[in-house]
Chain A
Amino acid sequence: MPPKARPPIATTEIRFRSLFDDTPELILYQNEKATILDANRAFLALVAEPKDRVVDRPYDDFLPPEVQPLFQEKLQEAFAGKTVRFDMYAAQGNSAPRHWDVVKVPLLENGVVIGVHMIARDITDKMQAQQEIVTQNQDLQQFTYIVSHNLRAPLASALGLADLLGTEEPGSPYFEETRTHLQASLHQLDRVLRDMNTILSIRDQKSVAEAEAVPLADVVQQVVQNLQEVVDQCGGTVRVAIPADLSLRANRAYLYSIFFNLLSNALQYRADERPLVVTVTATGGAGQPTRLTVADNGSGFDQEQAGDDVFKLYKRFHPHRPGRGLGLYLIKTHVESLGGHIAVYSRVDEGARFTIVVP
């Protein structure tokens, strides 16, 4: 039986040329002087230059000065016969800076390195995801720290008072006062645990499934209606400027909570010297990010002193007014569950402006 005919396969040259040209990673071939002798399509596309304006030019022409020494060093290592791998964050040509995983592979002929291949893979997305996880871990660690302190504080108080109660004469005024304080501490402990339940239920991923297109004007109107009595009592005004057809894909209850908390804050921290005016605006739609603002003319706070703490759990900035330091933390958690971001600008005795952007 005659040998079976082999299927036609591309010649070695065509196969390797295709690998070189069509791979989405950047591939270059360089000599010892770092001159580019060949560059693949991905590289040409990135630097937006035709091949004849890349070949025979030094690679340094396409690299920012701060990474040039690193590339020189790694190229020399490769010319010494080693395969080297390293990460860098840099622009190439006029491209935006990206994270690159770079490999340099020596090409040997009769035991001598005659050139070096470079393959660079864009790992920006991976690096960003990793950074997000690191940030989330730090947040969780801080959350745990704050929670443990805020649980231990009323508990320690209760422990001390329970001991004290045992030494006071039952029925005496001291006994009664100690008991009252003990109860207050236990209630505080209970509130912290209830807060945890609220926070954890917001973070629960289920809420994402409940997202619907929520008309923003509707939600804000509902919030204003429910707070109207308080607004009227203090002689305040709430101005709303939201296009009737503007809606946001979100969990309606969360949006309600965000506006309710922001308006409640504006009411609570109003300035006694002037009637409260709160302005609520929303813009966006048609592919644009949704931008919500709630601005008041209230007492404001010292932004420099508050620093990064404004949205942190159990941080407070008005020691002489009631409040537990939960509201802004919940708002931030809600906004983040919508994939958005919240920021504040405030000056003492001028007011505060909260801006929420949801992409």
Chain B
Amino acid sequence: MPQRQHPAVLLVDDDAATNYNNQRLLQRLPGSPEVLVASNADDALAVLHARCAHPGTAACPTLILLDLNLPPRNGFEFLRAFARRHPTLPQSFVVVLLTALPLDPGLVEDQHLPVTAMLTKPLTAEAVNHLLYNYFDVPTLT
């Protein structure tokens, strides 16, 4: 059975320590997927625009790990801006919302935004494997 490729991943978080942790967890996976890091919503939008607006350049990061608390805007506002700029794109992304404390799922649903899953920090190796297995058919390491 052919093994599915790891997606390129975009990390969006204003905390450098969190970005380091998540980047390291992802880079150590077999096949070390490409990890892009943005510390605010504007940088993240710029990355997505550069990578995803015109197919055939570099790999578009189809897995986005998004911190909800992202001053000056929050993760929801980032997603709204993304959906506005690329109305057809967000549906093909896996967006995982990361929060310091568990989030009320109803609160997320009310936003009507393309959020695929929610995770409470910290991101762990298990959680990463789980995400890749569930949404990208990448077999888990056992």
Contact = CB atoms under 8 A, between A and B. Distances in A.
Contacts of A169: none
Contacts of B101: 148-149, 152
A67 interface: no
Contacts of B123: 160
Nearest to A159: B122
Nearest to A185: B17
25 contacts: A148-B101, A149-B69, A153-B69, A153-B121, A156-B122, A157-B15, A157-B122, A160-B18, A160-B21, A160-B121, A160-B122, A160-B123, A160-B124, A161-B20, A161-B21, A174-B24, A178-B21, A181-B16, A181-B17, A184-B16, A185-B17, A315-B71, A319-B14, A319-B71, A319-B72
B62 interface: no
B25 interface: yes
Q: Range of interface residues on chain A?
A: 20 to 34
B110 to A, nearest CB: 18
Interface of B: 14-18, 20-22, 24-25, 40, 69, 71-72, 100-101, 120-124
B20 A156 contact: no
A149 B100 contact: yes
Interface in A141-195: 148-150, 152-154, 156-161, 163-164, 174, 177-178, 181-182, 184-185
Contacts of A185: 17
Contacts, number: 66
Nearest to B21: A160
A45 B71 CA distance: 56
Secondary structure of the B side of the interface?
loop
B25 A156 contact: no
B16 A305 contact: no
Most A-side CB within 10 Å, residue of B21, B69, B100: B21
A319 B24 contact: no
A185 B24 CA distance: 16
A184 B17 contact: yes
Given A149-B69, A159-B122, A164-B21, 9 more contacts: A149-B100, A156-B18, A156-B100, A156-B121, A160-B123, A181-B16, A317-B72, A319-B71, A319-B72
A142 to B, nearest CB: 14
A316 B72 contact: yes
Most B-side CB within 10 Å, residue of A157, A159, A164: A157
A174 B20 CA distance: 10
Contacts of B120: 156
A316 B71 CA distance: 7
B75 to A, nearest CB: 13
A356 B21 CA distance: 44
Given A164-B25, A315-B71, A182 B17 contact: yes
A257 B18 CA distance: 33
B104 to A, nearest CB: 12
B76 to A, nearest CB: 14
Nearest to B102: A152
Contacts of B69: 149, 153
Contacts of A154: 15, 17
Contacts of B121: 152-153, 156-157, 160
A319 B17 contact: no
B73 to A, nearest CB: 9
Interface string A236-264: 00000000000000000000000000000
B17 A157 contact: yes
Contacts of B124: 160, 163
A319 B72 CA distance: 6
A181 B21 contact: yes
Nearest to B20: A181
Interface in A309-347: 315-317, 319, 325
